Structure 1
């Protein structure tokens, strides 16, 4: 199943989206102790003569919906709101219709107005659904076209592991009317929806709607790879993988751990026959692990596939079987939202009747990134690093970029800047990046900072993350170069930089606020800063060397943005401020003559590699001094090292300084040795096994091993400068707005390498100054550059 076609994706308010919302009659609404109100809408549409034509529906919901046509999941949404903008999805249901009667079902979950539920989903606390569209003469924009009811017997709760999500379910199959999507289901007792104006709080207007700015998520069925272990060896669980039923006798309590083969995000569904009163528990888990030190924050993990010494720790979804399922019409249970897992534990506790488990299916879902960027080399390890990086990134891309899909599904600016860069090296599709830039620009407060995560129902501020957002905009300028889009953010960028300018001391330090207020001065998950939650020791003045260097780097990024937008005076101002502050900081109390390192603050001993990395990225140290500084720092075990989270910054700094030999992929190879199939969040908490800030090869291999980087905004020019390498050969493609750049190089005699580059004619190519035997040919289809290093 492919993702549904997106018909309306310009992101602008459309007359098609004007119309009434509708919901349930007040007396029918149920909530109980659930963190969300749950309601379902059902419509019958008869088609006498099927015409193979688009049948678009515009759908919005507060907070979430799942659209099913004739029992098939077609779409899940809507796209998460951004600031004050809410979105309506446009879904073409035409390919899913058939002659005769068609059943359209929309399952709506509305989170409460509190912070409970999925923290990344803004909500009003007012359950509601909007549908616009006509199919076969049936106007689905009107309440009369639908029947609706609250979902009894289904409760959503936070869970102890997925504390930010509120997606865990406890469902009674009988009272929840599990067969509500079937053609034979009798909905005579269901309600007719009421207009939104008849709902409580109707005086508060609904937010204005815009078209969904991104494509729909993929919906691709994938097989379960195998069985990891089972509690009862006598049960033939392999039959389930063969598509055969597995019978669990009455009075049983059995379980099986299914191995998906790799970590994924997927919608789940289980089909059963008979077995009234049986309880199914489905536990999604990233890996096998030892008992956590603190749930969910501190885990103890080694070999992720070790089911002998480890166990699965996750929050189960529980379903009580109604018992009405037959071979022809099995009873199906599908958790509302997707789950993140490498392993699934299916536990079945039967009552007085046996139950037949007929099927367990997974439908993989993620942002449908059209991948054209490739990389291959003489190293098999590099191939594995690339493949795992792609998988990790896709698992962290849905309606927004995400930090970790199992635990949070929140979009953080630091994480997103990395993920955006990685996706730009895989695809020319920048729609999710634009969405992210807009999300953060729409967040924030009068201090000038953007929020550290957006969208989110709980504001949080990490000053450095606002600077990562500025750099994200600069990256978009370099790789895409859309001036009208970029100009919208000049004022927001200036406000972010103003926050730091207001906190500059006379000696050049940014003075950071205390961490016990609304601001968290996070830098990295490194073990030396475990107790301070990723914050270096800043001394009594709160003089922050790393924040100062980050601010300087952001000023330089902002200067490139302003220059691109024709704001030459503003660009000059930003560069002047950056240069003056870099000179002041490099020679001030941040520098320790005794050790030859930068301190984290204005006194004491140097503490971290991070301060040295940011000194280089800020341009405070350059050339041979920068190379010497980083070579010593990365070999010094007394300094706090960079983690996966800041590896991108570290590797960029090493390459910028010409200290390429200090780039070390050992931590990634160690993860492969521990049977991870996606990159872990960190080595401090060991919490998430899927966090895309670790997908550094996706930028590093194309930009440095192949040597391709934008040399002018919008990739109208590309610099080709492969870094020193031990490889015998490397090749790959790098997407640009103008087409693919292809690079292939091979090692010749001695230390020479012959490089061949093919690019679209619109992209000018430059080669290193040290290159020789340079030739270039240009025709109407492409330009080809060859040289020797």
Structure 2
């Protein structure tokens, strides 16, 4: 409460900031009236400048991108933040998605590099990072340390800054060394300490405060699959800019895990990977990671992806983990249906939200503003328009659109060498396609099973 002393031109500013949607002002006067000359808010946040355009003629698309960008802006200050109201802390699980939103929508990667460096500096004596940093309230989430390695790989693929990543590889090795201490003879993880958070899953048997089910013998497919995936992406970086012998070790460990996971968790009857050896619990999480880590490929991955969409007995991914679910579905060849998977975001809009809620239970969510839900601000460009990195440093560009029933769409996004623009227009069954790549950059265009080379500058196709 604020007590006015009756003089003119009094001012009040809070000592720190906090996000809000509405302000309720209650005034109690005594013998004299109180005059409020003005009341206003000041926006506080990192000065990102949006460098993208997405023109589909669809108002919902526009709304989703606006809400996602607003959420991303409000969750970025000196560092990324999980939310601008409660903790205001940089969590790795959130930051990986936030960093990709940054890389796809701006040409300013300073906050990404800052996040990667701070997390590297947060590593404890055992080798893993803290779950969130900077903060003096220590919390360890080992699975987030694995996502930090994934975040390193993202930056390596989208920015030509290999020396920066090379400097972080000792930290990556320490993280994986930590996990190796808890791998058994068959490679499977057991008794990993601290909070093994995967996702906020509502009312599903076996899920305990964000931790995926663990079997009677202490094993978890979600944990084993995430470690396998991390060995793979770490091996890619080590092969290119680190030590090839370390890469070989990682690939051997990944291959061992692949055999173990298939033996322990594959359910032949349901044609799914179970969460535990007992094979009585299943999740979108385990099966998404199975596709992303290459446990299944080709027609097998597409069949598994169909199960992800139809088998409702599986524990469902939250708005956060849908990033990984959608990546798996796209990798399996279902990307043309991407816009059909955005029901949770539409629910936010229908409830009048202006930022993305933290939880899938939108009406009961604690935080109304969590940028880990802003993944459409990545996928509208990477999946729908089809723009992705095809080599470390974004040195080559892959254009593989997933248009679904869209007949007219265009957009552009930043690239280290300039801008990438795409335009697709269908008239009378014929597609007019315009793709422009920045200077000194080549790529390839994938369209209905065919591959076309792309040169710097304008590329036109009539297909």
TM norm. shorter chain > 0.5? yes
1:319 maps to 2
SS in 1 for 2:36: strand
1:507 & 1:548 partners in 2: Cα distance?
Answer: 11
Pair 1:480–1:775, CA change in 2 (3 A): closer
Normalising by structure 1, report the TM-score. 0.56
Q: Select the residue among 292, 299, 321 that pairs with 1:624.
A: 299
Say yes or no: does 1:532 pair with 2:208: yes
Say yes or no: does 1:596 pair with 2:274: no
Normalising by structure 2, report the TM-score. 0.94
Pair 1:467–1:710, CA change in 2 (3 A): same
Say yes or no: does 1:419 pair with 2:98: yes
2:433 maps to 755
Q: CA RMSD in A?
A: 1.9
Q: 1:772 Cα shift?
A: 6.3
Say yes or no: does 1:682 pair with 2:356: no
Correspondence 1:17-56 to 2 at 5 A: none
Q: C-alpha offsets along residues 411-451 of structure 1, whole Å, 9 cap, x if unaligned?
A: 10000000000111101110000010011101122222111
CA contact (8 A) 2:187 2:253 kept: no
Q: C-alpha offsets along residues 390-412 of structure 1, whole Å, 9 cap, x if unaligned?
A: 11110101111111111110110
Please identify which structure carries the higher helix content: 2
Pair 1:753–1:504, CA change in 2 (3 A): farther
Q: Runs of 4+ in structure 1 displaced over 4 angstroms?
A: 769-776
Q: 1:621 Cα shift?
A: 1.3
1:666 & 1:646 partners in 2: Cα distance?
Answer: 14
Q: 1:702 Cα shift?
A: 0.5
CA contact (8 A) 2:433 2:460 kept: yes
Q: Select the residue among 31, 48, 56 that pairs with 1:369.
A: 48
2:311 & 2:204 partners in 1: Cα distance?
Answer: 17
SS in 1 for 2:433: strand
Say yes or no: does 1:493 pair with 2:172: yes
Q: 1:756 Cα shift?
A: 1.3
Say yes or no: does 1:710 pair with 2:389: yes
Pair 1:649–1:622, CA change in 2 (3 A): same
SS in 2 for 1:358: coil
For the pair shown, the structure with the greater C-alpha radius of gyration is 1
Pair 1:694–1:718, CA change in 2 (3 A): same
Say yes or no: does 1:551 pair with 2:227: yes
SS in 2 for 1:787: strand
CA contact (8 A) 1:610 1:642 kept: yes
Question: Unmatched 5+ residue regions in structure 1?
Answer: 1-317
2:22 & 2:421 partners in 1: Cα distance?
Answer: 38
SS in 2 for 1:602: coil
How many matched pairs? 458
SS in 1 for 2:24: strand
Say yes or no: does 1:656 pair with 2:339: no
Q: Select the residue among 198, 212, 236 that pairs with 1:523.
A: 198
CA contact (8 A) 2:169 2:242 kept: no
1:186 maps to none
SS in 2 for 1:639: coil
Say yes or no: does 1:380 pair with 2:59: yes
1:714 & 1:735 partners in 2: Cα distance?
Answer: 13
2:308 & 2:323 partners in 1: Cα distance?
Answer: 16
- After alignment, is 373-382 or 665-674 more displaced? 373-382
Pair 1:773–1:450, CA change in 2 (3 A): closer
Q: 1:731 Cα shift?
A: 1.2
Question: Unmatched 5+ residue regions in structure 2?
Answer: none
Say yes or no: does 1:696 pair with 2:375: yes
SS in 1 for 2:19: strand
Say yes or no: does 1:460 pair with 2:139: yes
SS in 2 for 1:339: coil
1:639 maps to 314
1:502 maps to 181
1:672 maps to 349
- After alignment, is 432-441 or 352-361 more displaced? 352-361
CA contact (8 A) 1:771 1:787 kept: no
